[in-house]
Amino acid sequence: MSRMKFVAGGLVILAAVIYLIVSSTKANAQFYLTVEELLARQTEMTGKDVRVSGVVLGDTIENDAANGIVRFTIANIPADQNEIDRLGGLATILRNAAKDSSLPRLRVVYQGVKPDLLEDASQAIMTGSLGEDGIFNASELLTKCPTKYE
């Protein structure tokens, strides 16, 4: 009888641990999308925590240093490494995508200090959420300079 209580107690504890792991994972789940994928799933992804990457269009950068707001536009770049290699490498893709007006684009607003590497043809990787207005509100912004890939 006492052995059954021990087994039952162990099963309850195991079930509680599994539940906590699953619920924690779902709560912290984050989608990683390209600009094209995000725009294609705009209705579904609005308001959700998302990570998106794209190439910065330098002539769209607006830095409001007094209020700590940076606005800019990014264009779609592929996420698949095989496709990146096939198209000539990341530096080539970033340069070409920054010039290609036919690629899907996303307007971004970032609350924070403008990174030094936020410039034309740099890669921006942002975490945040897509607003109902179609603007991506970034809470985190990482930048990579294209010359680092040459």
Distance CA 76, CA 83 (A): 13
pLDDT tens-digit series, residues 88-137: 998 899 999 999 999 999 999 999 999 999 999 999 999 999 999 999 99
Sequence-distant (≥ 6) Cβ neighbours of residue 58 within 8 angstroms: 98, 119, 120, 121
Domain assignment present for residue 75? The answer is yes
137: CATH = 2.40.50.140
Decide if 18 is inside a domain. Answer: no
DSSP 11: H
pTM of the model: 0.77
Domain count, the chain: 1
46 in a domain, yes or no?
yes
In a domain, 14, yes or no: no
Nearest to 84 by CA among 75, 74, 70, 94: 94
The verdict on residue 48 lying in a domain is yes
* pLDDT per residue as tens digits for the range 29-77: 556 899 999 999 999 999 999 999 999 999 999 999 999 999 999 999 9
Q: Which domain holds residue 61?
A: 30-149
| Inside any domain, residue 7 | no
